[in-house]
Amino acid sequence: MPNPILKQVSKPVKEVTDETRELMDDMLQTMYAAPGIGLAAVQIGVPVNVIVMDLAKEGEKPAPKYFVNPEILELDEDFVPYDEGCLSVPDVFDTVDRPKRAKITYLNYDGERVTEWAEGLYAVCIQHEMDHLKGIVFLDHLSKLKRSRAIKKVQKAKKLKAAS
Ligand code: ZN
């Protein structure tokens, strides 16, 4: 942030190939190293519809999830607030209201079709990551005032880093 690639709309993947799996492996490593719980390919500069995620808690066995060409089929009418952060917007957290549940369909690591309801943190994370595929960052969901405050915070942090 504010790297223009984050505004780019990602393209669908034609087929899940070894190349796609290599990309997903790379993304997972990047995400674990950050550390984060979700990452869209565009965040590492590859604008294709691929997401990786791991919602396992600290001390739990890793549980990586892979999403190729995810689509939302249905959204719950109830919205819930969640304090979101983003690897592309370091040090900024803010509350975003999103549908409580999302019915999604996607291709997994092996290219198989999966259709399921995402709930709780899973619902928050998949909607956040799918926004990235459309060129949307979570700050875009905030009010103008909150957004400009958050952007200032990111820029200030960057300047401090550059100065040190
Ligand atoms: Zn993000």
- pLDDT, position 161: 77
95 CA to centre of ligand 1 in angstroms? 13
Rounded distance, CA 37 to CA 113, Å? Answer: 22
**Is 119 in the active site?**
no
Q: Determine which of 42-46, 114-118, 128-132, 148-152 has the lowest per-residue pLDDT on average.
A: 148-152
87 CA to centre of ligand 1 in angstroms? 6
Q: How confident is the model at residue 91 (pLDDT cuts 50, 70, 90)?
A: confident
Q: For domain 4-163, give the CATH superfamily.
A: Peptide deformylase (3.90.45.10)
Sorted by where each begins, the domain ranges of the chain are 4-163
The residue assigned the tokens 């550390």 is: 35
Contact criterion met (CB below 8 Å) for 39 and 64: no
Amino acid at 62: P
